[in-house]
Amino acid sequence: MKTLSAQEIFEKLKGKFGDGVVSLQTESVNPPFAVVPPGSIQEVCRFLKEDPDLLFDYLVCISGVDHKDKFAVAYHVYSTEHRHRIGVKAMLPHDNPVIPTVDVVWKAAIYLERETYDLMGIVFEGSCDPNRILLPDDWEGHPLRKDYIYPEQYHGIKI
């Protein structure tokens, strides 16, 4: 077991991907986030999981963040082997938030991505189950977006 700090993990990522990893965000976030472009999220996640010094085998959660002009998807990962953790973040445009799925890396991503799609409307491309998970299948809109407008009624029942 060799626990690495977030800075060391980020430097390993930087050494592997070069400019493919944008920056490390350390201000007022715990764990610090490595910001990556959306296109390379699968390669970064696979490297995080399979590199023997990192071995991030536990995907803790996937979150969607609405910044009004853009979306962010945040992945919290943890290594039960090395006991270290880091976040990975990808910024998406607001009008068409699409990102490749990571369920080919961690199976746990299926439910988390379904929830993020359900409540935030972020589309995970190539997901093996791209459906809603909490709300009914015929629900309109994604309720945790800032610009969500409440419907008047659902199936004749007042909301």
Partner 1 sequence: MSQGPAKRKPIKSNIFDVVPAPAEIPQNVLQKNFERVRACKGGEGIIEVGIADLFINWCRKNSLWYLYYATACCGIELMQGGASKYDFDRFGAVFRATPRQADMLMTAGTITHKMAERVQRIYAQMPEPKYVIAIGACTITGGPFYKDSYSVVKGVDLILPKVDVYVPGCPPRPEAWIEGIRNLQNLIMKTKNYGLKKA
Position 155 contacts partner 1 (CB under 8 A): yes
Q: Minimum Å distance from CB 111 to partner 1? A: 16
Query: Is residue 150 close enough to count as binding partner 1 by CB under 8 A?
Result: yes
Binding mask 108-137 for partner 1 (x = CB under 8 A): --------------------------xxx-
Burial of 55 (0-12, 13-18, 19+ CB in 10 A): middle
**154 near partner 1, rule: CB under 8 A:** yes
Work out which of 39, 93, 126, 151 binds partner 1, going by CB under 8 A: 151
Residue 65: C-alpha distances to residues 11, 37, 155, 158 (Å): 25, 16, 29, 29
3-state secondary structure 55-108: CCCEEEEEEEEECCCEEEEEEEEECCCCCCEEEEEEEEECCCCEEECCCCCCCC
Q: Could you tell me which residues are beta bridge partners of residue 36?
A: 90
Q: What gap in Å lies between CA 103 and CA 153, rounded to an integer?
A: 35
CA angle 110, 55, 91 (to 5 degrees): 55
Indicate which single residue of 18, 27, 147, 157 sits in contact with partner 1 (rule: CB under 8 A).
Answer: 157
Paired residues of 62 in beta bridges: 75
By CB under 8 A, which span of 41-49, 86-94, 105-113, 148-156 interacts with partner 1?
Answer: 148-156
> Does 19 participate in binding partner 1 (rule CB under 8 A)?
no
Stretch that binds partner 1, among 28-36, 66-74, 104-112, 151-159 (CB under 8 A): 151-159
- Shorter beta-carbon distance to partner 1: residue 98 or 134: 134
Nearer of residues 78 and 148 to partner 1, judged by Cβ = 148
Q: Which residues bind partner 1 (CB under 8 A)?
A: 134-136, 143, 148, 150-151, 154-155, 157-159
